Structure 1
Amino acid sequence: MSDPTPPALRHHGRFAYRAITDRPDYDWPDGRRLAVYLGLNLEHFAWGEGLGAELAPGGPQPDVLNYAWRDYGNRVGAWRMLELFDALDLPASILANSAMYAHAPELMAAFRARGDEIVGHGRTNAERQSVLDRAAEAALIAESTAVLRAAEGVAPQGWLSPWIAESEHTPDLLAEAGYGYTLNWCMDDQPIWMETTGGRLLSIPYPQEANDIPSIVARKDGAGYFADMIIDNFDEMRAQSRGQPLVMGIALHPYLVGQPYRLRHLRRALTHIAAHRDEIWLCRAGEIHSYCRNVISDRVV
């Protein structure tokens, strides 16, 4: 009789399958069960070349319409969002292209003054690192990390690839470069350990649903719908977290939700979350990493 077991598919080898209902239990600090962080993407794009989200189908380069629309986020939208975060006393993880330090140093300084965490986000979102060979990708990570370290006085703990683009080597290169966590993988609602040639790398959940790029740019969701999505996701995860400790990230881009009519709805969603601050852990992604590595390392799977 032939073996009915189907052959295994090719696997990434970074982590094994384990159901969220079959894992060690733990709490976040102060007995909280739901950790919530804001991931604000500060991005700069090359003029006349490269990748970029589009408000309208792009024409020949230089694509003035889409380039200027994206730069609105750095010139206006991000400043309005900073005011909103201050008004609601919300911490943030700033996912920063290293090119931002030359393009808009005042903006980076303003978030530094808030005490926000700076997360590595490549050189520019006009490029993907996944198309590079191993040496060139390592050089990109090293170059962008050096800019952040020089500006902030400390190396970033975490990394989000532009366009969530990874090669086969990216987790290894990140760990070898001293990174402790990645936001690239969206397969879970808990942090999990990934195996790399440089030791364990923590994968912290970064959303592709509660994220304004796929919602607003790809699915064409309205401003109110996106805010309702954040509220519904938060309320449901708050209820689910009674069974398992969870992480909810909210991914934001200032050229999208920094637009006045969207900002008004985002304020409504974030005000709802802030009203529950006494029962959740409002934090930065780096704080999740530090807690998982230093306090509950043996209970993270």
Structure 2
Amino acid sequence: MTLPDHGRYAYSPITRRADYSWPEGKRLAVYLGVNLEHFAFGEGRGAALAPATNEPDVLNYAWRDYGNRVGVWRMLALLDQLDLPATVLANSAMYDYAPDLMQAFLARGDEIAGHGVTNSEAQGEMTEPEERAMIAAATDRIAAAGMAPQGWLSPWISESRVTPDLLQEAGYAYTLNWCMDDQPVWMTTRAGRILSIPYPQELNDIPAIVARKDSAADFAGMIIDTFDEMLDQSNDQPLVMGIALHPYIVGQPYRLRHLRRALSHIAAARDRVWITRAGEISALCHGGLAGQIS
């Protein structure tokens, strides 16, 4: 029996791949994916603190907006304190809504990756012309602020049948949409290839805290345990560990306290791991490691 297949990559067990190392001979690459999202008021999608009873959904809209007004600024202070870089996954609407916030990340030298125009819409529900236009609009807005995005995470990780094709054709080097591996993987498109960099759905505060109702302490423990285990596993294969963070969730004070503990644990081991940005992983894979990536 032959099942329908996406045709984007072939099966490859992680135990049978070419060996390589990250810079300075390090074996584990770690990056932080900080999601900056803006939502339409009274319509569209959005993570929910509590079920909406009507629109406008003031409770959930304001809860999410706390992240942009307060939570993310606390996170910025934490990143500065620990000297940690970030890959910012930004809705392009953020440039109009909170331009000083976007400038704060640019001033740190952080990477800005594409994350659609707004998380009030799902990319996979668009027609191909609509999706192409949305990608172009988000890309142009980010580039106009001074940094052309090299990577993309779809809002809600929602893809159409042609999303990887459209991203590659728009000039994107990598996608974060596919969570099938702990190493970068080349994906096929109709006009070439695009790199898939691991983006977590376990070490992600939305499925962990909002969906599964894990506590702040549980989430911090997951980060620490994953880091320690992957550091051991990386003796056998080079690995990538991503941590997906949303300021309206982990920027809440009691959760930030636990996040501080987890990130401090990682920062204390910086001499053993490559703490980096997703774009730097991509650049290395497209460059000197291009022939080593499966």
Q: TM-score, normalised by structure 2?
A: 0.99
1:265 CA drift (Å)? 0.2
- Tell me the equivalent position of 2:12: 18
Which residue of 181, 185, 192 corresponds with 2:178? 185
Which residue of 60, 71, 74 corresponds with 1:66? 60
Q: Comparing 193-202 with 19-28, which one deviates more in the overlay?
A: 193-202
- Tell me the equivalent position of 2:164: 171
CA offsets per residue over residues 208-252 of structure 1, 9 Å max, x none?
A: 000000000000000000000000000000000000000000000
Which residue of 112, 136, 143 corresponds with 2:137? 143
- Tell me the equivalent position of 1:4: none
Which residue of 269, 293, 300 corresponds with 2:293? 300
Using the alignment, how far apart are the partners of 2:287 and 2:58 within structure 1? 48
Give yes or no for the alignment of 1:274 onto 2:267. Answer: yes
Using the alignment, how far apart are the partners of 1:157 and 1:199 within structure 2? 16
Using the alignment, how far apart are the partners of 2:192 and 2:69 within structure 1? 40
1:198 CA drift (Å)? 2.5
Code of the aligned partner of 2:287: N
Give yes or no for the alignment of 1:236 onto 2:237. Answer: no
Code of the aligned partner of 1:286: G
Q: Which consecutive aligned stretches of 4+ in structure 1 deviate over 2 angstroms post-superposition?
A: none
- For the pair shown, the structure with the greater C-alpha radius of gyration is 1
Alignment of 1:1-301 (within 5 A): 7-152=1-146, 154-301=147-294
1:66 CA drift (Å)? 0.4
Unaligned 5+ segments in structure 2 are none
Q: How many residues were matched structurally?
A: 294
1:8 CA drift (Å)? 1.6
Using the alignment, how far apart are the partners of 2:53 and 2:248 within structure 1? 19
Code of the aligned partner of 1:138: R
Secondary structure of the structure 2 residue equivalent to 1:21: helix
Code of the aligned partner of 2:30: V
Using the alignment, how far apart are the partners of 1:197 and 1:177 within structure 2? 13
Q: Comparing 37-46 with 194-203, which one deviates more in the overlay?
A: 194-203
Secondary structure of the structure 1 residue equivalent to 2:73: helix
CA offsets per residue over residues 65-93 of structure 1, 9 Å max, x none?
A: 00000000000000000000000000000
Secondary structure of the structure 2 residue equivalent to 1:118: strand
Secondary structure of the structure 1 residue equivalent to 2:179: coil
Secondary structure of the structure 2 residue equivalent to 1:54: coil
Unaligned 5+ segments in structure 1 are 1-6
- Tell me the equivalent position of 1:3: none
1:59 CA drift (Å)? 1.5
Secondary structure of the structure 2 residue equivalent to 1:205: coil
Using the alignment, how far apart are the partners of 1:30 and 1:298 within structure 2? 19
1:155 CA drift (Å)? 1.4
CA offsets per residue over residues 11-58 of structure 1, 9 Å max, x none?
A: 100000000000000000110000000000000000000000000111
Using the alignment, how far apart are the partners of 2:126 and 2:275 within structure 1? 36
Secondary structure of the structure 2 residue equivalent to 1:41: strand
Secondary structure of the structure 2 residue equivalent to 1:215: helix
Code of the aligned partner of 1:193: W
Code of the aligned partner of 1:42: L
Using the alignment, how far apart are the partners of 1:56 and 1:166 within structure 2? 26
Using the alignment, how far apart are the partners of 2:35 and 2:50 within structure 1? 21
